Amino acid sequence: MAALGSLLGRETVADQSSLVPLSLPNNPASHFTPQAKRVIYLFQSGAPSQMDLLDYKPQMEAVHGNELPDSVRQGQRLTGMSSGQSSFPVAASKYKFSQHGESGTWISEMLPYTAGIVDDLCIVKSLYTHAINHGPAISYMQTGDERPGAASMGSWVSYGLGSESQDLPAFVVMVSRGKGSRAADAQTLFARLWGSGYLPAKYQGVRFRSTGDPVLYLSNPAGIDRSSRRQMLDAIARLNRFQQDELGDPEIATRITQYELAFRMQAAVPKLMDFSDESNKTLEMYGPDVKQPGSYAANCLLARRLVERGVRFVQLYHRGWDHHGGLPRDLPLMCQTSDQSSAALVKDLKQRGLLDDTLVIWAGEFGRTAYCQGKLTATSYGRDHHPRCFTAWMSGGGVRPGFSYGRTDDYSYNVVENPVHVHDLQATVLHCLGMNHKQLTYPFQGRDVRLTDVAGNVVHDILV
């Protein structure tokens, strides 16, 4: 299973099976011609407030402070954080919206840089989910299952398409934190969100860190040079190969492959992390935080550098959007840490001719409520979790630019036109990559499991 040229003392060894699409009976490479070759997923953890950013609802201004009508709420369940409230006053957005681009799309003043690229965006305003709390909702968006243990989207893409790089993982993950009181105690993100679940371990995401070695144990121990490391890996590979021949365990082949990848990464990653070859114009485009390792801006630039080098799926998590209180104070701070660099990534990819075959996704795990959580004041209100509707945008990779899809009611509370379920979004992403979500499966515990479980429909209306 692994072509180990290392046994002959060569450095340029790769698991050749990971560099091409899998030879499976349901080989997704043969489904249809893909529009996208790779994905950059900008996950805004904590759930940004859609009616304050991308889903303009001027009608709420006339009923600001009034009770949310029962006809709108429709008896839908509440979280434990607002279920004890005696009233549910409507909180209209305090931010100004204006139209931008040839498409005339309404964008909040909190996203001036996103407004500048609006004609490159496909904005989906009718997403919905079943999960009402962060843990299950994030898991649902990332793995297609509210329960822990399922394979992540990045792992499914790596499994279906293989890798384009011999020196870097097919699936890379980076985590950043925004600003504001909610960012300081943002919910934990567990490694299972980028894990391979029931897929072979070689498809799991590799997390890049902001301090020390970008990848754990990437550097050689003290007193060990590269030549010594090569000899050590060759010896370990022989032992692993003997065990593989005896047991036939595919995870042993994965272990061999990952050792070899780590060896090549020792040379590739330092060059990747060095921004000295980037122009001042490019660095300025991403914003002042780009020179701060581990910042969202730095991670966005790294995402572009990763896909340039053949990484198939780059997952960025940006924590701090969970605004139960202090939204007027904290939402602008989160936008300041993310708006410029998100837009810069799209512009940078477009300038380099990479946007057409790179799918960029910007989304949280659910939306926020139209009613206020807690006391409604001009400076200190919040919004609770809301699974019934939320907004995301996509760019490049086969989606329609300058296009808005779906519609919510006057309170951004219920979807009234073109609903898009989480599984629909996942099916559409796989479609853009040339894969049929119903045929991309893996046998596990007596059934053929898939990212979209037993649901999901491709949203063809948003595709070019």
Supply the DSSP string of 77-95, one letter for each residue.
Answer: ---TTTTT-S--BB----S
Provide the pLDDT for residue 19: 40
CB-based burial, 282-296: b 16+ in 10 Å, e otherwise: bbebbbebbeeebbb
456: Cβ contacts below 8 Å, ≥ 6 apart? 421, 423, 424, 426, 427, 437, 438
36: Cβ contacts below 8 Å, ≥ 6 apart? 357, 358, 359, 396, 397, 398, 432, 433, 434
Residue with tokens 């022989």: 238
pLDDT digits (tens, 9 = 90+) for 40-76: 999 999 999 999 999 999 999 999 999 999 999 999 9
Distance CA 128, CA 389 (A): 5
CB 298 within 8 A of CB 265: no
Provide the pLDDT for residue 14: 30
**pLDDT band of 147, cuts 50, 70, 90:** very high
Least confident span in 68-77, 117-126, 336-345, 417-426: 68-77
* Stretch 115-123: mean pLDDT: 98
Look up residue 399 and give its amino acid: V
212: Cβ contacts below 8 Å, ≥ 6 apart? none
Residue with tokens 């898939």: 450
Q: How deeply is 463 buried, as exposed, middle or buried, from its count of CB atoms within 10 A (0-12, 13-18, 19+)?
A: middle
Range of the domain at 353: 5-462
Provide the pLDDT for residue 107: 98
User: CATH no. for residue 327?
Assistant: 3.40.720
**pLDDT band of 101, cuts 50, 70, 90:** very high
Number of structural domains found in the chain: 1
Provide the pLDDT for residue 266: 79
* Stretch 104-121: mean pLDDT: 98
